[in-house]
Structure 1
Amino acid sequence: MSSRPDLDEIPRLDLAELPMAADRAVGWAALRDAGPLIAGDGYYTLARRDDVLEALRNTEVYSSKKAFDGLGSPLPMVPIAFDPPEHTRFRRILHPFFSMQTLGALLPSLQQQAIDVIDDIAANDSCEVVQELAIPYPSQVFLTLFGLPLEDRDRLVAWKDAIIDIGLLDSLDDADLTPAIELATYLTGAIAEHRRSPGDDILSQVLTGSDPLDDGEALGLGYVFILAGLDTVRSAIGSALLMLARRPGVRRLLCADPSQIPVFVEELLRLESPAPLIPRVTTRPVEVAGVTLPAGAKVRLPLAAINRDGSDGISGDELVMDGKLHRHWGFGGGPHRCLGSNLARMEPRLVLTEWLSRIPDFEVAPGFDPLVEWPAPSLALPKLPLVFGSGEHGQQ
């Protein structure tokens, strides 16, 4: 008679123990190798693709509703802090604003902002990508989408950074919630102003549409945009330019044929998933890998690990540039699949198109070792100094 493992027999591995900072291939392999179900940091991490995909699909058992309480938002974050059927309503309201047709109308403005930022960078012979491009550009995009002044960019970034630090704390008991309160106050004022004088921006439209969001729902949406959106795009831009700095052959390919930039961006989102782990909470006992997790168990779904699990020819650790857009799980799946996936693709595509047309030849500054912040909500580089060449590096 075979015995079934219990919770005490699950392998333990805290995220900080993963060798992630220098090489995600090594880090995610270490997580997968630890076992199909891993305990650590107060969570159970599901490491097999089939289990992760089942959790993404099954919102009745794996709830998103209670999984986002630690980010300092004064109200539930729309739509990620809701499960169906409430979540279904929010998706129906918001989906049209993130369609390619809607975003296409904003494309000229977003492209011009990328041009302005990158023109300034290209006037020099080096740059620090994170502070000069990866942080300011997505922040400006958010302000444009919400119809807010671009001059508010720097304080928006400061609030966002402080609130994400709050989310990393074990407890909010001793946390300084001042940044969260200040951001809530700012967004509350913006919501009131957009109700009084609506424009053609997304915030105005969700407040005045046929099924309008109330003030609290709009505030929760703003938090999602800022906390879930800005850092992920920052991470993607930094990772993209690091990958290209290390791959002159791929740079030459994209410069010669910019139509391949979407293929590269899709591989970037697979290999360097900017939302590498997403949380859920179980609503009832559920069996995973022969172990019964109790109701109320905090669960992590490692999207970045299953994207590299080698289960097929396009899910390994190597960059696949075969001209095709391959499926991956960087945006999650199921009812909670990332609402802003079109925007999250558009921003790196715009940045890379404008960057490569102006700065085709670049490399990591000599002596600098690019390490991502880990553990952290996104696999972001805190710093990436690049130096620009006149052609010799691109001919390797």
Structure 2
Amino acid sequence: METSASGGPITDEWVERHFDHLSPELARDFHPTLARARAKCPVAHSDQYGGFWYATKYEDVLRIAQDWKTFSSELGITVPNLGAGMKVLPVTIDPPLQRTFKRLINVHFTPAKIAPWEEPTRRLVTGLIDDFIERGECDFMKDFARPYPGLAFFDLALHAPSDDLDEVNHYATMASLPHIEESRDCLMKLAGWISEFIERRRKEEPRGDVVDAVMNAEVEGRPITHEEVIGTVQLLVLGGLETTAGVLGAAMQRFCEHPEILEELRANPERIPAAVEELLRLDGSFICIGRTARHDVEFEGHQIKEGEQILIYWASANRDEAEFPDADSFDLDRTSNRHIAFGAGPHRCVGSNLARMNLRIALEEIAQRLVDVRLQPDADIDFHSTFNRAPLSVPITFTPGPRS
């Protein structure tokens, strides 16, 4: 039976008045609960954590995300706030200053800029699969989904030491779980690692990458501060690791439950880009974000007061039947797929091109090399679900194959 954070059933009243975005019960019954919210209370007020609003329909989520003059990122980004004392830039500031920081990053993640990364990324994917393909089994999250985006990003985008990957991956993963005790400590340790990394980079020859651009930037006519550098690099790390891992993990679970999908992609690899978009729409791991009202505003018949926070659910918007017919189905022939898995408005994810490339290459290699993929017997897929959503473990079996 569905249960709430208090141990009772998830009732309509819980959805309408006591919604708890940090509850493990919501993580286990995530999409059905959000579907109930879309149907019964598309914009609702919860009494949890001192009170906050949340919105679940596509049109409402998009409107709030685009209206930064009314719904600010700077005044409050999470419910509850981690209180870690380090801004993750530029996601915690509003235009026009936000545009200055975003321009520093954007130019380094255009399709043309990342195109040379395709060949080394494919070598990485091939090597990771080689490490487990002869066994005929693996934990897909541990052996592939989590190390892959980090290894690619740290090497190709940040030019950081690969020896640090496991440590930083752990910090980034734990920092994505604000309801556990370790989260705040890991967020601060991540900031500490970035600070040390930046100091090392300042002593090295310039590489012309995004790290150099951020370190040497001017902001409003002054040199960027060390804290601003840390905050900006922290966004790149948090935005690029666990999010991609989450999509891959959910995709593998879907492939195991619906083997015809992987068979179709193996036979028709030209359909993989469309598959990437459907996987992002259905199981995008960047599930929600917070905004704060700058002033009193009436929104869909509700009076939202200045200073009140509202969570907007990308994951719910992407399954809204009003925008996506047969929204819960994986459909490679979907004619319109205006999903917002990467967010919307001025804060739309700068790494979307890189994420799409990483996902496409992963699916190309997985479809060709992993045959008869199934969940291991008695596998119980548990998701963490706060602002990012990813399976903790996806144990699979498959027909053993040769190394490349």
TM-score bin, normalised by smaller chain: 0.7 to 0.9
For the residues of structure 1 that align with 2:231 and 2:326, how far apart are their CA atoms? 35
- Matched residues, percent identical? 27
Q: 1:154 corresponds to which residue?
A: 166
Q: Superposition pairs for residues 206-225 of structure 1, below 5 Å?
A: 206-208=214-216, 213-225=224-236
Taking structure 1 as reference, are residues 13 and 68 closer, same or farther at Cα in structure 2, changes over 3 Å only? closer
Per-residue Cα deviation, 1:67-92 (whole angstroms, up to 9, x for no partner): 33734654321110110010111122
Per-residue Cα deviation, 1:8-29 (whole angstroms, up to 9, x for no partner): xx64433367965456542321
Q: Superposition pairs for residues 11-50 of structure 1, below 5 Å?
A: 11-15=17-21, 20-21=26-27, 24-40=30-46, 41=48, 42-50=51-59
| Residue 168 (structure 1) shift | 2.7
Q: 1:163 corresponds to which residue?
A: 175
Per-residue Cα deviation, 1:103-148 (whole angstroms, up to 9, x for no partner): 1122222221111111112121111011111111112123111111
Q: Superposition pairs for residues 1-396 of structure 1, below 5 Å?
A: 11-15=17-21, 20-21=26-27, 24-40=30-46, 41=48, 42-68=51-77, 70-71=81-82, 74-144=85-155, 145-165=157-177, 167-168=178-179, 178-197=185-204, 198-208=206-216, 213-314=224-325, 316-322=327-333, 326-374=337-385, 376-389=386-399
For the residues of structure 1 that align with 2:22 and 2:163, how far apart are their CA atoms? 37
Q: In structure 1, give the amino acid aligned to 2:36.
A: A
Secondary structure at 1:15 match in 2 = coil
Q: CA RMSD in A?
A: 2.5
Does the CA-based 8 Å contact 1:263-1:321 persist in structure 2? yes
Does the CA-based 8 Å contact 2:24-2:384 persist in structure 1? no
The number of residue pairs the alignment matches comes to 376
Does the CA-based 8 Å contact 1:64-1:81 persist in structure 2? yes
For the residues of structure 1 that align with 2:187 and 2:316, how far apart are their CA atoms? 31
Q: So what's the TM-score if we normalise by structure 1? A: 0.87
Q: In structure 2, give the amino acid aligned to 1:15.
A: H
Taking structure 1 as reference, are residues 181 and 317 closer, same or farther at Cα in structure 2, changes over 3 Å only? closer
Secondary structure at 1:26 match in 2 = helix
Quick check: 305-314 or 134-143, which moved more? Answer: 305-314
Per-residue Cα deviation, 1:185-241 (whole angstroms, up to 9, x for no partner): 321121122222222432123334687754322210121122232111111110111
For the residues of structure 1 that align with 2:136 and 2:191, how far apart are their CA atoms? 40
Quick check: 27-36 or 253-262, which moved more? Answer: 27-36
Does the CA-based 8 Å contact 1:263-1:325 persist in structure 2? no
Q: 1:394 corresponds to which residue?
A: none
Taking structure 1 as reference, are residues 93 and 201 closer, same or farther at Cα in structure 2, changes over 3 Å only? closer
For the residues of structure 1 that align with 2:59 and 2:321, how far apart are their CA atoms? 13
Q: In structure 2, give the amino acid aligned to 1:341.
A: S
Q: In structure 2, give the amino acid aligned to 1:104.
A: A
Does the CA-based 8 Å contact 2:134-2:400 persist in structure 1? no
Which consecutive unaligned segments of at least 5 residues does structure 2 have? 1-15
Secondary structure at 1:296 match in 2 = coil
Does the CA-based 8 Å contact 1:287-1:293 persist in structure 2? yes
Taking structure 1 as reference, are residues 123 and 45 closer, same or farther at Cα in structure 2, changes over 3 Å only? same
Per-residue Cα deviation, 1:148-188 (whole angstroms, up to 9, x for no partner): 111111111222233334x336xxxx988543443223211
Q: So what's the TM-score if we normalise by structure 2? A: 0.85
For the residues of structure 1 that align with 2:392 and 2:182, how far apart are their CA atoms? 23
For the residues of structure 2 that align with 1:76 and 1:249, how far apart are their CA atoms? 44
| Residue 352 (structure 1) shift | 1.3
Taking structure 1 as reference, are residues 227 and 113 closer, same or farther at Cα in structure 2, changes over 3 Å only? same
| Residue 368 (structure 1) shift | 1.6
Q: 2:10 corresponds to which residue?
A: none
Taking structure 1 as reference, are residues 72 and 291 closer, same or farther at Cα in structure 2, changes over 3 Å only? closer
For the residues of structure 2 that align with 1:93 and 1:175, how far apart are their CA atoms? 31
Q: In structure 2, give the amino acid aligned to 1:65.
A: E
Secondary structure at 1:38 match in 2 = strand
Which consecutive unaligned segments of at least 5 residues does structure 1 have? 1-9, 392-396
